[in-house]
Amino acid sequence: MAAQAEGIVLENRNIGPFYFLLDIDCEPIARVAVPGQFVMLKVPDGDRSLLRRPFSIYRCSRRFPTQTRKGGQISILYKQVGRGTLKMTDLKKNQTLGLIGPLGQGYLPPPLPSSKSIILIGGGVGIVSLVFLAEKLHAENLFVFIGGKTEHDILCARDFNRLRAHLFVATEDGSSGFKGTVIDLFFSELGRFKNDQSYYVYSCGPMAMLRRLAKGIEPNRFVCQVSLETRMACGFGACWGCVVKTTDPETPYQRVCKEGPVFPLEHIAWDAE
């Protein structure tokens, strides 16, 4: 259940051009968060009022409380792209933050417990929530496809190497790995996956990327869940500002922040997006 909570900055460090890793001591959220959920973070800005910003949970750990820590930590990997995230880069250790979370519906585990092969596809910062998922799934065979515009936009490769994943990298400028988009790369590697088996795919990235995945994937061979990236205002469904069209005749419009951000791939009306 989502809650308004207070977090304490443990560390906020630069990990690459425009990318930062923010560790927050926040036991109420860390205790219940699941992969695919997100938090709304209030960025301190003096007397100015900035809206809370949504951020996927990158890592989550629960520890025994100590005199200095409450016993739960969440990590956010973010890119500095505007005024709000620029202010975030100034966050210092022991600074207090206001958060609401965990919010939204997370990834569901594979429907069959016998599933041994999992495919993750992430574009840009979309790969972030898939790290948390990979750590929970314990897949015997983990195939990870990471894409970015340049080599500086390839995130979390070390995390997946630590998990002994089969890692594939694509950059649009060809500066690292395959030259092209991550979906181009995935489609080019389909021969790795047997035709007589079903595979479970989890993907997160820009809408254009996910639309291309939906248009080219074989739904009977690849069972796919996607996490949508969209602008959010409230984060808990009150404003109806993040609605997407779905294929459900009963509820043709659903909120990314409330019914999502994770949906079955076929649940989204991609032709309407």
pLDDT in tens, 150-181: 999 999 999 999 999 999 999 999 999 999 99
- Give the CA-trace dihedral at 93, 129, 262, 222, to 10 degrees: 180
Instruction: Confirm whether 108 is domain-assigned.
Output: no
SS3 85: helix
Q: What is the mean pLDDT of residues 231-248?
A: 86
Q: Where are the beta strands (DSSP E) in the chain?
A: 3-16, 19-25, 38-42, 53-56, 59-62, 72-79, 96-103, 117-123, 141-148, 166-171, 178-179, 199-205, 222-228, 243-245, 253-255, 262-264
Residue 7 pLDDT more than 90? yes
20 plus 99 within the same structural domain: yes
149 plus 187 within the same structural domain: yes
66 plus 11 within the same structural domain: yes
Smallest CA-to-CA distance from 254 within 101, 203, 269 is with 269
pTM for this prediction: 0.93
**Phi and psi torsions of 75, nearest 5°:** -125, 140
Residue 35 pLDDT more than 80? yes
146 plus 263 within the same structural domain: yes
Q: How confident is the model at residue 270 (pLDDT cuts 50, 70, 90)?
A: very high
Asked, as a colleague might, if the bond just before 102 is cis with ω within 30 of 0, I would say yes
162 plus 95 within the same structural domain: no
The DSSP call for residue 172 is: T
pLDDT of residue 67: 54
Say how many C-beta atoms besides its own lie within 10 A of residue 237's C-beta: 18
Query: What is the extent of the structural domain holding 167?
Result: 117-272
33 plus 146 within the same structural domain: no
**Top-ranked range on mean pLDDT: pick from 39-53, 57-71, 149-163:** 149-163
For all residues of the chain together, what is the average pLDDT? 90
Q: How confident is the model at residue 233 (pLDDT cuts 50, 70, 90)?
A: confident
